[in-house]
Amino acid sequence: MTAYRSKAWATWLAVVGGSFGAHRFYLNGARDMLAWLHSLPSLAGLVGAWRMHSLGQDDGPAVWMVLALGVMITVGMLSAIAIGLTPDDRWDASHNPDHPPRATRWAPVLGVIAAVMIGGAVLMSTIAFAGQRYFEWAKQQGALAAPTAASG
């Protein structure tokens, strides 16, 4: 008989550690290669945030690493939403076939609400940061000309 996999735990693990694949480790074990692949860009993003804090915002590699972290946090929140909104009967059929069904109550719903709030904020911040960096780069390259006053 396999261990019971709680939908509430999986949802909250995705909210708290989804960018590192915590929910995938919980559901599939240490042999899940996608769980390990979650960790690499997330760790790189943390290194990028540290580099940006230490070296300043002009550090090119740090920018890409921070963007990777934003994407991975968003992926974790999307996973939490998908897990939390899975119907109980479908969840039990795929993850708990040897166990009697259990009602999940409000814990996954609250996790989905937290994931929507966190994921929305992180996604919008990542998009804004990427846009800011693009326009700063374009201005440095001379692709964006500064507006000039109309001659009269």
Indicate the pTM of the whole model: 0.85
Radius of gyration, CA atoms only, the chain? 21
Determine the pLDDT at residue 145. 61
Sorted by sequence, the CB contacts under 8 Å of residue 91 that are 6+ apart come out as 7, 104
Sequence spans of domains, the chain: 7-141
Instruction: Give the pLDDT band (50/70/90) at residue 82.
Output: very high
Residues 19/118, Cβ–Cβ less than 8 Å: no
Report, as an integer, the average pLDDT of 74-83.
97
Determine the pLDDT at residue 148. 65
Residues 69/52, Cβ–Cβ less than 8 Å: no
d(CA 40, CA 47) in angstroms, rounded, equals: 11
Determine the pLDDT at residue 25. 96
Report, as an integer, the average pLDDT of 115-125.
97
Report, as an integer, the average pLDDT of 22-42.
94
d(CA 95, CA 127) in angstroms, rounded, equals: 35
Q: Is residue 42 scored above 80 in pLDDT?
A: yes
